[in-house]
C-alpha cells in the first residue's frame, strides 16, 4: 500500500479511540493496471483501518484488473462496483 495512504489512515485514527474513522463503515475497492497489486494494497488498507478503529465491512472486497475490462465501459464490472457502494452505504454494525 502506498505510504501516503497508510499515513492518511494513521492521521484519521488520532486521537486513538476517538479518531475520525472510529466506528465508521469502511471498505476498499479499486481498479489497477496490474493483476494483483490492487488486491494486496487493499488487504493492507483493510488491516490499517481495522487498527484505526474503523468498522471494516466483512466480505466487501473488490479489486478489478483493468487488463480484463474497462470499469466504465463494461456493464457487468460497473455493476459490481455499484453493488459494492450500495453494500457500504447500507452496512449496519453487527
pLDDT tens, 63-88? 888 887 888 899 998 999 999 999 99
Ranges of beta strands (E only) in the chain are: 25-32, 55-65
Q: What grid cell was written down for 62?
A: 473488490
CA 75 to chain centre: 21
The pLDDT of residue 12 is 93
pLDDT for 59 equals 84
pLDDT value at 53 more than 90: yes
The β-bridge relationship of strands 25-32 and 55-65 is parallel
| pLDDT in the model for residue 37 | 66
Cβ 80 vs Cβ 64: under 8 Å: yes
DSSP-derived 3-state class of residue 27: strand
- Asked if residues 55 and 26 have their Cβ atoms less than 8 Å apart, the reply is yes
Residue 13 has phi, psi (to 5 degrees) of -85, -5
Amino acid at each position: 500500500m502506498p505510504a501516503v495512504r497508510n499515513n492518511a489512515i494513521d492521521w484519521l485514527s488520532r486521537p486513538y479511540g476517538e479518531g475520525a474513522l472510529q466506528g465508521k463503515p469502511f471498505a476498499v475497492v479499486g481498479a489497477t493496471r496490474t493483476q494483483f497489486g490492487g488486491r494486496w494494497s487493499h488487504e493492507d488498507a483493510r488491516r490499517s483501518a481495522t487498527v484505526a478503529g474503523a468498522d471494516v465491512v466483512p466480505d466487501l472486497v473488490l479489486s478489478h484488473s483493468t487488463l480484463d475490462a474497462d470499469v466504465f465501459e463494461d456493464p457487468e464490472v460497473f455493476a459490481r462496483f455499484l453493488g459494492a457502494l450500495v453494500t457500504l452505504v447500507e452496512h449496519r454494525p453487527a
